[in-house]
Amino acid sequence: MCLKLLLQQQPVAKDLRLISAALKMITDMERIGDQAADIAEISIFLSQAPYVKTPEHIPQMAAATAKMVTESIDAFVKQDLELANKVIADDDAVDRLFDAVKGDLIKLMSADSSNSSQAIDLLMIAKYLERIGDHATNIAEWVVFSITGKHEDAAGTEG
């Protein structure tokens, strides 16, 4: 559809920004889907045996990243700059939750090495959730670009 618009219409700068942002966002959405599938696969594996208590921050991460994905897409659909900037800011909280999960799992493995395999699986889930948050942030950054014409990554680097 984006290519059809480019070929059949005479888009102005704002239209071109919207189209190019949509094309960039597709990659992030595909990666979110891939990581969600990986989380599901690990979860199925973990459900087949008794496992250690899930660190409390993993469900919080899942809720936060799901909200970020929803809000980043809503920001695109509504062209809502404020919501896009909120998503970008929310990524720091997800990063802190990941650090907390990692710390909890290191303590768990130090206390009882027989939990190491499951702890590594839980760490992988947490890392996938953290990456989903990063992809939602990327989407929000492209929303900002489509509205303002300026693209900055989360580190504040213009691109």
- For the chain, what is the domain count? 1
**What is the CATH classification number for the domain harbouring 135?**
1.20.58.220
Residue 27: predicted pLDDT = 96
CA distance 90 to 136: 10
Instruction: Tell me if 24 is assigned to some domain.
Output: no
Instruction: Tell me if 76 is assigned to some domain.
Output: yes
Residue 8: predicted pLDDT = 58
- Work out the pLDDT band at 68, boundaries 50, 70, 90: very high
Residue 17: predicted pLDDT = 82
Percentage, residues of the chain above pLDDT 90: 66
- Which residues, 6+ apart, have CB-to-CB distance to 151 below 8 Å? 141, 142, 144, 145, 158, 159
CA distance 66 to 132: 8
Mean pLDDT of 104-109: 92
Q: What is the pLDDT of residues 25-67, one digit of tens each?
A: 999 999 999 999 999 999 999 888 777 777 889 999 999 999 9
Task: Say whether pLDDT at 134 is over 90.
Answer: yes
* Domain span including residue 120: 29-148
